[in-house]
Amino acid sequence: MEARLEQYIHAVIRWLPDPVLSLLALLVAFVLGLVAHKVTFRVLTRLAENRDLFWRSLVQRTRRPLRLAILTWTLSLGVAVAPLSSSQASVLRHILLLCFIVLVGWMARTALHIWMTVYLRRFKLDAEDNLLARKHVTQSRIMERVAATLIVALTLAAVIMTFPAARQYGVSLLASAGVAGIVVGLALQPGLKDLIAGI
């Protein structure tokens, strides 16, 4: 019975044209990715229930990035299995690479925001003597914006560098972001010392 079923499936697969098979493979990979994301998110939610606020917030805020990560992984497997031409597979792999780069930047930006939010919760701005708290909050917000800008610049540079014709612009942007980071870091050195001392 199983041998007949296997023969029937092979006969159907041989009858289907390659574009249809490719579409079916990618569709199956997409559905498997959604199912895997649902299961993984539930497991992570359970694991983070008894952890501190940072990890609980990180799991909740990275639900969509996690979905993108799992879909990128399953679709890359679908591209490897699907009977695509070399040009089609190259284009899809490039798109998945762009998704991965954006995903890393997205998660880094989200983790930075959550960490800064949790850190600033210890400072009470409604207190009577809140000068030190306001100072820390202001410095922390400035450094968060600088770090977020650097993350966006690095992500954009990495995206541009995946295109051979525009790779030199990505390298220039990457170098500019590094120089800007050094300059801003030196300018905010007193604030960084206060922030690290506060941590």
Identify which has the larger pLDDT, 90 or 173. Answer: 90
Answer whether residue 72 shows pLDDT above 60.
yes
Q: In the numeric block, which tokens belong to residue 18?
A: 């390659």
In the prediction, which pLDDT does 120 show? 76
pLDDT for 39 equals 93
What's the whole-model pTM score? 0.69
Under the banding of pLDDT at 50, 70 and 90, the label for residue 2 is: very low
Distance CA 158, CA 105 (A): 10
Can you give the pLDDT at residue 33? 92
Map the chain to HEC letters.
Answer: CHHHHHHHHHHHHHHCCHHHHHHHHHHHHHHHHHHHHHHHHHHHHHHHCCCCHHHHHHHHHCHHHHHHHHHHHHHHHHHHHCCCCHHHHHHHHHHHHHHHHHHHHHHHHHHHHHHHHHHHCCCCCCCCCCHHHHHHHHHHHHHHHHHHHHHHHHHHHHHHHCCHHHHHHHHHHHHHHHHHHHHHHHHCHHHHHHHHHHC
Question: What pLDDT sits at residue 122?
Answer: 74
pLDDT for residue 40 is more than 50 = yes
Instruction: Tell me which amino acid residue 148 is.
Output: A
Whether residue 36 is predicted with pLDDT greater than 90 in this model: the reply is yes
Instruction: Read off the pLDDT band of 9 (50, 70, 90).
Output: very low
Q: What integer best gives the mean pLDDT of the chain?
A: 76
